[in-house]
Structure 1
Amino acid sequence: MSVLVVGLSHRSAPIDLLERVVLDAEGARGLATRLRAGEHVEEVLVLSTCNRLEVVVEAATFHGALEQIGVALGEISGLGAEELATHLFVHFDDRAVCHLFELACGLDSMAVGESQVLGQLRDALARAQRYGHLGPSLNPLVQQALRVGKRAHAETAIDDVSRSLVTLGLDRARSVLGELGGARTVVLGAGAMSGLAVATLVREGVTDLVVVNRTPERAARLAAQHGMRSAGWSELAEEVASADLVLTCTGAVGHVLDAATLARGRAGTGRDEQPVVLLDLALPRDVAAEAAELPGVHLWGLAELQQEASGASAEDAPDAEAGPVRAVRELVTSEVASHLTERHTARLGPTLAALRSSAARVVDAEMARLDQRLPHLPEDERAEVRHTVRRVVDKLLHTPTTRVKQLQAGREPADYAHALRELFDLDSREVATVSTPPLGVADSVSEITGEVGRR
């Protein structure tokens, strides 16, 4: 079994396609449950954000799992297999591990180095753990990815490079409104992105801000954290009509703000000619595209921000790669190498346990022959002979098993487990089922293999 990552993101698909596959928490859970029930997927985690949908699985079979995921994504998006395939990315095994680590560090984000993805990945992990979709492979792998992401932000200057979607949007808003401190601001939604938006706006000096959400309690809680006010969903049109800046990310299906509602509200407040900036960070879009045709309305969504982020990344790439981004890539390379070394070494565990089991059977057989030849041998002497034979076996096996672990952990490890099975004529079926060493050699196996039996 191996790790497989399949998905779509802003790097592989246009925004209008991503809109068709975006999933809320319940949708992500449903997709994971469906895939986990298939015969080709052992473990699964689904990450759905405003600019990506990724499925991470421990695959029993590569092609079977890939087909299973492709069919599910095709049904969600309504795309045929051929059209969908042109936008999917697939990472397998070592490359999948590297991708997860880069993702957690923000290197694969629309705004390079942003830290929001860490929280999104953490939420996806918690959801997968809660519903029993993870096991001994993906659970530690994703947790390690989160640790790598934290290290990237703590040990490098990647935060100086990162510009979140909110920050990019506010730059656009400044080009229309000037400094934002005095802007009357409305934030629609109370989720993670909205929370980031409110915190960023407060840091920008905004003092007149209202949070509007379908669930009043959530809006009130978010607003109270920053000393701002909240409003109910029924007040949305009124609040937006008098706003200078509206930032929306509700996760709703369908538009929450259309051109007609906006036009009526602005006319009623006498602001139909005044400039207003609408930053739509939702997938699907919260604001109807026709709103941009109204006088004074400046509407920017993820597609426009993606274009700007991509352009800035291309322009700044040489300096970025020479500084924080390069440092993070080096960190990722080191962490991936460490993970692969541990994984390669762990794969030896069942074979080494089977080898010890085989040796124990030889000892038992020889002691049985001794019992037949010397039936009157005193019990204390018999125990001493057994102990001596076991010590000889342990000493003979210690050096080759220790050395094979060192070789397996090399830069380009060969299949030393296979070599051991061939040299000692080990039964592959026994290797697959061994989880703990036999009695009498437990200490030796623990000393040599460490984590035997956990995988």
Structure 2
Amino acid sequence: MNVLVVSVSHRTAPMHILSALAMDAAESAKLLDAVTQSEFIAEALVLSTCNRTEVYVASTRFHGGLEVIVTELAAMAGLAESDLSDHCSVFYEEAAVQHGFMVAGGLDSAVAGEHQILGQVRKALTVAQGEGTIGTTLNALFQQALRVGKRVQTETSIGSAGRSLVSAAADVLGLDDLTGRSVTVVGAGSMAAVAAHTAADRGADVTVVNRTFAKAERLAEIVGGSARPMDVLPSVLASTDVLMSCTGALGVHLMPEDIAATPVREIIDLGLPPDVSVDVEQLPGVRLMNLDRLVSEHADPATEAQVESANQLVRQEVSDFVALRRAAAVTPTVVALRSLGNNVLELEHQRLRQRLPGLEDAQYEEIRQSMRRVIEKLLHQPTVNVKKAAASSTDYDYARALRDLFALDQALVDAVREP
């Protein structure tokens, strides 16, 4: 089973395409069900964040799997397949593994090394597990991706910087010190939680506004702020210095007239689709930083040395993981070969019983064990070597060589693969 990834991200698509592709857990589950109906796709996972939507599958056919993914993605987003294809990046096998590890490590994010992506990857895995679309191939890939992401965070300088889209946007606006300033965070999801923590850590008085008031209360309590329901947002803005909006699909859309009579001067809009109209910058002194501008106009603050240290870690993890996959791929054939050896052994034992009926049981068992040891010794080194060779090279199909040399029945190999 081969790993195939179709990615649409801030690197390949404008924000209106990313907005059309943004999915919540329910929509991701619907897409998972659609793609796994295909005969070409055995497993699937959907990762949808504020700057990417990606479909990971375990596929039996590259072109067949790719066509299914693009078709279903386009249908979900209401886009023409030709329009979507122009914005897709496609990764296959080792390149797919590397991409998955880079994503989990925050190295493919708008802000290199950002931490939030790891939680989003974990959530995507949980959704796919709940839908029953994860098997051994993608489960192994994403369990390892989570470990790689954690290593990047804890073992490299780029991870220890603790970056996030929120902190990057705040830095661009010069909001490094918010002591004594009032910050309103609209939303209570994962991005809003990062915004609330960032504002509180920089000394702000935080107010959380959300449609579900209980969620606003929980987040406000965690950061030591206050909570208000969404229907009083206009009155909250009347005493707000900085607005951070992170709702996306909740339908908040603030216009210049909503800001004009307020003290709000800096706005961070990380909603997808956007929560705040760009026209607010027509107001005197108002500055807006949204996802589109953060991605396209502002350089990532990570240094080349930081990025390279993290990339080196990922490259080694990819190499190790791919080697294990290659060795595992030949394992069913090795097991089938040993099974063939045992079958030959049992047949010869039966013949020995018939030809030498006078042997005592102890004598028979001693001969039987001697024959078993001979077979095991003959097969041990070749099977060890073939696993090593398969792990270190993609240029030769060692499993096929074993099948051809020993005339192994493919059905026997396939039976070993059965869970």
Alignment match, 1:304: 293
The 2-side partners of 1:57 and 1:250 are apart by: 29
1:276 Cα deviation after fit: 1.8
Residues 337-369 of structure 1: per-residue CA shift (max 9 Å, x gap): 110111111111111111111112211222222
| Structure 1 position 288 matched with structure 2 position 277 | yes
Query: Does structure 2 retain, via aligned residues, the 8 Å contact 1:112–1:162?
Result: no
1:38 Cα deviation after fit: 2.3
Q: Which segment drifts farther, 349-358 or 75-84? A: 75-84
Alignment match, 2:117: 117
1:424 Cα deviation after fit: 0.7
Alignment match, 2:408: 426
RMSD of equivalent CA atoms: 1.9
Alignment match, 1:258: 255
Query: Does structure 1 retain, via aligned residues, the 8 Å contact 2:173–2:289?
Result: no
Which residue of 390, 393, 396 corresponds with 1:408? Answer: 390
The 2-side partners of 1:429 and 1:377 are apart by: 37
Instruction: Report sequence identity in percent.
Output: 42
Alignment match, 1:92: 92
Query: Does structure 1 retain, via aligned residues, the 8 Å contact 2:115–2:163?
Result: no
Residues 160-217 of structure 1: per-residue CA shift (max 9 Å, x gap): 6664221122124337xx94222221000011111111111111111x2200011111
Query: Does structure 2 retain, via aligned residues, the 8 Å contact 1:344–1:408?
Result: yes
The 1-side partners of 2:333 and 2:3 are apart by: 21
Q: Which segment drifts farther, 123-132 or 284-293? A: 284-293
1:375 Cα deviation after fit: 2.6
Alignment match, 2:312: 330
1:115-264 correspondence runs (5 A): 115-159=115-159, 163-174=163-174, 179-206=177-204, 208-263=205-260
The 2-side partners of 1:189 and 1:354 are apart by: 56
Query: Does structure 2 retain, via aligned residues, the 8 Å contact 1:281–1:301?
Result: yes
Query: Does structure 2 retain, via aligned residues, the 8 Å contact 1:254–1:285?
Result: no
The 1-side partners of 2:177 and 2:315 are apart by: 41
TM-score, length of structure 2 as denominator length: 0.95
Alignment match, 1:396: 378
Which residue of 321, 333, 344 corresponds with 1:351? Answer: 333
* SS in structure 1 at match of 2:5: strand
Q: How many residues align?
A: 419
| Structure 1 position 4 matched with structure 2 position 4 | yes
TM-score, length of structure 1 as denominator length: 0.87
The 2-side partners of 1:422 and 1:261 are apart by: 74
- The AA in structure 1 aligned to 2:81 is A
**Closer/same/farther in 2, CA of residues 116 and 149 from structure 1, 3 Å limit:** same
The 1-side partners of 2:348 and 2:393 are apart by: 41
Alignment match, 2:55: 55
* SS in structure 2 at match of 1:181: coil
Ranges in structure 1 where 5+ consecutive residues have no aligned partner: 436-452
Alignment match, 1:39: 39
Ranges in structure 2 where 5+ consecutive residues have no aligned partner: none
- The AA in structure 2 aligned to 1:91 is F
The 2-side partners of 1:395 and 1:168 are apart by: 61
Query: Does structure 1 retain, via aligned residues, the 8 Å contact 2:188–2:216?
Result: yes
* SS in structure 2 at match of 1:284: coil
Alignment match, 1:448: none
Query: Does structure 2 retain, via aligned residues, the 8 Å contact 1:112–1:161?
Result: no
The 2-side partners of 1:26 and 1:428 are apart by: 40
1:370-381 correspondence runs (5 A): 370-381=352-363
Query: Does structure 1 retain, via aligned residues, the 8 Å contact 2:31–2:76?
Result: no
- The AA in structure 2 aligned to 1:305 is L
Alignment match, 1:101: 101
1:417 Cα deviation after fit: 1.1
